[in-house]
C-alpha cells in the first residue's frame, strides 16, 4: 500500500476503518520501518482524493493541528495549507457578489418587512413557554413587528432584506455597539487558524435590557467575563478564538423609565427580536425543521458557524427583582454556555440570565 502512495485516510476508506486506527496498526506492525517507508514513498505529486478532502475539512472543523493532519494525510504542512487555501476560496465563492448588485430601496424594504412577518409568525407557531405565549398574545404581532422594525438600523435592514445571504464580512463592516439602550447584538469571532474557512467564523446573537446600561454593559460583561459570562471564555479558549471579536447592534429599544412596566416591555421586545434575528441570520445551531424553514436563503451558503443553542422563547424571563430604591430590573439576555447549562443553579441564571447558551 505504501508503494501505491496511499495515505492513511485512503487506507481507512478502503478498509472501512478510521485513519487514526490504520496509523496505529501500521506503527505496531512496522515499528521504525514505518518512518522509512513513508519517506521513501512521498506523496507530493499525488492528487487529493475525495476521502482526503472530506477528512481535511472535517478534522479542521474539530481543531486538528497541521502536525496531526500531516501524519494521516502523509503530506507536508505547506501542501496542506495550500489545499486549505483552495478549499477556503471555493467555500466563500458562492457568497461573492458578481458585479454591482445595487437593490432599489423599495425592493429590500419590502423583502425586509415580508421576512420579518414570516419569521415572527413562524416563531409564534413554534414551541415557546406558556408565559411567553400569554405575553405575546397581549397585542397583534403586527404591533410587535413594528416595534422591532423601528429599532433595526437601516444598514442592518438592507442586509436582512438583501437578495444574497448575509456574510461574515458584511456583518463585521457594521458599526460596533455604542449604546446604553436595550436591544439585540451580535458577536462575530474568528479562530486563530489561517487560512480561514467558514468553520473558523462564529456568529452569536444575544440581547440586553438592563435600564440605563443596555448593550454597552452586555458587551463589557462579555469582554471582562463578568458573572456567569466567564463561562463563555472557556468556549472561546477551547475554539482558539481571537478576542474580543466584533460586537454589532442589530436592534435597539429605549425604556422610557426604570419603572417595571417600561423595563418589562423593552425586555419583551428585545428578547422577541433576539429570537427573530437568531433565526433570520441562521445563528441557531441544530434548529428544528420548522425554524430552519424560516431562514430566507439557502442555509448551506452561510460563511460562518452558528453559535446559539436554542430559541430564547423556550425559556421564561426570570422573575423581576424590584429593589425598593429604584425598582429597576436586570436584563433577560438569552445566551450562555450550553455545556454548563445543566450544572448552572437558579441563582447563577438569575445573575446572568442569558438563556441561549453558547456552545
Whether the pTM exceeds 0.75: the reply is: no
Spatial distance between the Cα atoms of 51 and 71, rounded to a whole number of angstroms: 15
Determine the Cα–Cα distance for residues 310 and 357; give it in Å rounded to an integer.
Answer: 7
More confident residue, 340 or 31: 31
pLDDT band at 4 (very low <50, low <70, confident <90, very high): low
Rounded distance between C-alpha atoms, residue 336 and residue 274, angstroms: 14
Confidence at residue 240, expressed as pLDDT on a 0 to 100 scale: 81
Q: What is the arithmetic mean of pLDDT over 325-351?
A: 35
Return the pLDDT at 312.
Answer: 92
Position 257 scores a pLDDT of 78
Measured CA distances, 274 to 7, 14, 182, 306 (Å)? 46, 47, 11, 14
Does the N-terminal peptide bond of residue 195 adopt cis geometry, omega within 30 degrees of 0?
yes
Residue 206 forms beta bridges with which residues? 185
Which residue in 173, 145, 168 sits closest to 251, CA to CA?
Answer: 145
**Reported confidence tier of residue 91, pLDDT bands at 50, 70, 90:** low
pLDDT band at residue 326 using 50, 70 and 90 as cut-offs: very low
Least confident of 28-42, 92-106, 314-328: 314-328
Q: What is the mean pLDDT of residues 114-131?
A: 93
Evaluated on CA atoms 310, 312, 313, 315, the torsion sign reads positive
What was the pLDDT predicted at 51? Answer: 86
Half-sphere exposure of 319 (CA within 13 A, CB side): 5
Contact 196, 235 (CB under 8 A): no
SS3 content of the chain, % helix, strand, coil (to 5): 50, 10, 40
- Point out the least confidently predicted range of 55-64, 85-94, 284-293: 85-94
Among 100-109, 226-235, 306-315, 317-326, the range with the most confident prediction by mean pLDDT is 306-315
Amino acid at each position: 500500500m505504501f508503494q501505491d502512495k496511499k495515505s492513511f485516510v485512503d487506507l481507512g476508506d478502503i478498509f472501512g476503518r478510521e485513519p487514526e486506527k490504520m496509523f496505529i496498526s501500521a506503527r505496531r506492525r512496522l515499528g521504525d520501518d514505518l518512518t522509512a517507508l513513508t519517506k521513501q514513498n512521498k506523496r507530493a505529486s499525488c492528487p487529493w482524493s475525495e476521502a482526503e478532502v472530506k477528512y481535511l475539512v472535517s478534522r479542521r472543523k474539530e481543531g486538528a493541528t497541521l502536525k496531526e493532519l500531516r501524519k494521516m494525510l502523509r503530506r507536508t504542512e505547506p501542501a496542506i495549507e495550500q489545499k486549505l487555501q483552495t478549499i477556503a476560496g471555493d467555500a466563500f465563492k458562492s457568497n461573492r457578489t458578481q458585479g454591482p448588485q445595487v437593490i432599489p430601496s423599495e425592493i429590500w424594504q419590502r423583502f425586509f418587512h415580508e421576512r420579518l412577518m414570516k419569521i415572527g409568525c413562524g416563531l409564534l407557531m413554534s414551541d415557546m413557554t406558556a408565559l411567553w405565549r400569554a405575553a405575546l398574545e397581549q397585542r397583534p404581532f403586527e404591533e410587535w413587528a413594528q416595534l422591532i422594525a423601528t429599532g433595526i438600523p437601516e444598514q442592518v435592514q438592507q442586509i436582512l432584506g438583501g437578495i444574497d445571504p448575509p456574510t461574515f464580512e458584511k456583518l463585521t463592516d457594521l458599526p460596533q455597539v455604542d449604546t446604553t439602550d436595550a436591544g439585540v447584538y451580535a458577536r462575530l469571532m474568528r479562530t486563530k487558524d489561517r487560512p480561514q474557512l467558514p468553520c473558523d467564523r462564529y456568529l452569536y446573537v444575544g440581547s440586553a435590557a438592563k435600564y440605563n446600561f443596555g448593550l454597552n454593559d452586555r458587551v463589557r460583561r462579555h469582554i471582562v467575563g463578568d458573572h456567569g459570562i466567564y463561562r463563555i471564555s472557556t468556549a472561546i479558549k477551547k475554539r482558539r478564538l481571537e478576542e474580543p471579536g466584533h460586537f454589532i447592534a442589530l436592534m435597539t429599544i429605549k425604556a422610557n423609565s426604570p419603572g417595571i412596566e417600561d423595563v418589562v416591555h423593552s425586555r419583551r421586545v428585545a428578547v422577541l427580536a433576539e429570537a427573530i434575528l437568531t433565526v433570520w441570520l441562521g445563528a441557531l445551531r441544530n434548529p428544528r425543521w420548522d425554524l430552519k424553514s424560516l431562514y430566507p436563503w439557502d442555509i448551506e451558503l452561510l460563511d460562518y458557524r452558528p453559535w446559539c443553542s436554542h430559541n430564547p422563547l423556550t425559556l421564561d424571563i426570570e422573575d423581576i427583582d424590584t429593589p425598593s430604591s429604584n425598582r429597576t430590573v436586570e436584563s433577560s439576555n438569552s445566551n450562555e454556555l450550553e455545556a454548563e447549562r445543566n450544572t448552572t443553579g437558579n441563582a447563577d441564571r438569575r445573575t446572568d440570565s442569558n438563556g441561549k447558551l453558547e456552545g
